[in-house]
Structure 1
Amino acid sequence: MKPQVKRSIKFSLTTAVITFVLAAIFSIVSSSIMSEVVWSIGLIIVFVIVLIGVAFDMLGIASTAADEAPFHAMAAEKVTGAKEAVIIIRNADRFASFCNDVIGDISGIVSGTASAVVVLQVANLLGHGEGSTLQITISVLLTSIVAAITVGGKALGKYFAIHSSTKVIFFVGKVVSLIETRLKIKVLPKNK
């Protein structure tokens, strides 16, 4: 078997395991938080989760659209974040997979679950039980709003990711540099 195929299979399996663990953690945390807050705060949490998914989708697209060349000159001048930007672009397939598939898809699933909790809270607050016409109406309305914001936000994010990929990836490079130097948390693989 070719080394690239082995690497791809290993990465795919690792990503699947990471996704499973992160999805479980995010679901447990969001469900426990959602059950403890009033519906209006829950609604804000739903929209924050959606925006996280949109932002990470944009980052994944930007990594595949960015050109490595501008960052080499910056890295030679020791500009913070430039070296990390090069690593992100060189690993664009993995970076995009993590951002778009792992974080993006988990955000979509968790926002759906959190939306359901908000719908039940509102229906119970208004004195209507599960399966009532009001509960179904609220559910359809909230689901439609969340879907519209998700799809519209991702479309807008893709535009910025493609047309401003250098700026987006440079910003991510700076954030990653900060995390790796200040917090001593390894985020990116070593540059080969």
Structure 2
Amino acid sequence: MSKNNNRKSTAKSRRKWILTILIWSVLISSGISLLSDSLLSKVNMLVAFIILAFIIIVGIIFDIIGIAVTAADETPFHAMASKKINGAKIAIKLVRNADKVSTFCNDVVGDISGIVSGSVGFFIAQKLIHEFTKLNSTSVNVAIGAIVASITICGKSIGKTYALENNNIIVSKVSKLLYLIVKDR
């Protein structure tokens, strides 16, 4: 009987988590898309590239965090918590919920950043084609798409290696930053 109740509780918890991720995905993706679309329509090419770089960097940073939390060891954070170091309890929660943190960081924020950066890249390509009418539109679209994809892939590849080598340090820094926001709640 206890196993059956435990399974129902676990299934309910999973459904709640999926619903939470769905809501966050919709909110974040629509917010980023709306912000980038409204900003891009009013800016010059340099600012459009800066916005694109920012979106790619956010995706890479969240990918690093997701990997680091998944690879981190909980033990040092217990020692930090016993010494009352700010953010240690948050670090323990992050590591204990590595699957959820990784889903949010890598899949929600990371994938949304990838999709939005592709859209921004397309917008930049269209702006270039409009300003320089002699450019071949297919070539420009392919070139911008390839550049965005390669920067994202290389950045995430470098970030993964960094995250695996420095996982506890990254989790510690993220947890201290979160501590400033949530105060170990």
Q: Matches of 1:17 and 1:84 in 2, distance apart?
A: 23
2:178 alignment counterpart = 176
Count of residue correspondences: 179
1:102 alignment partner in structure 2: 108
Question: Does residue 1:54 correspond to 2:60, yes or no?
Answer: yes
Cα RMSD (Å): 1.4
Q: Deviations over 1:103-138 (max 9, x none)?
A: 00110111111111111111111135xxxx622211
Match of 2:61, as an amino acid?
Answer: A
The residue type equivalent to 1:49 in the other structure is I
Which secondary structure does the structure 1 equivalent of 2:41 belong to?
Answer: helix
Quote the Cα distance in structure 1 between the aligned partners of 2:45 and 2:127.
6
Deviation at 1:44, TM superposition (A): 1.6
The farther-off stretch of 50-59 and 17-26 is 17-26
1:115 aligns with 2:121: yes
Secondary structure at 1:2 match in 2: helix
**Amino acid corresponding to residue 94 of structure 1 in structure 2:** K
Q: For residues 94 and 139 of structure 1, what CA distance do their matches in structure 2 show?
A: 35
**Residue number in structure 2 paired with 1:73:** 79
On the 8 A contact 1:61/1:158 being kept in 2, the answer is: yes
CA distance in 1, matches of 2:88, 2:16: 28
Picking from 67, 75, 92, the partner of 1:86 is: 92
Cα distance, 1:2 vs structure 2:
3.0
Q: Which residue of 1 aligns with 2:47?
A: 41
Q: CA deviation at 1:85?
A: 0.7
Unaligned runs of at least 5 residues, structure 2: 1-6
1:165 match: 167
* Secondary structure of 1:29's aligned partner: helix
Aligned counterparts of 2:30 and 2:78: Cα–Cα separation in 1? 39
Q: Give the equivalent residue in structure 1 for 2:28.
A: 22
Give the 5 Å matches for 1:120-159: 120-128=126-134, 134-159=136-161
Distance (whole Å) between structure 1 residues aligned to residue 100 and residue 50 of structure 2: 31
- What percent of counterpart residues are identical? 38
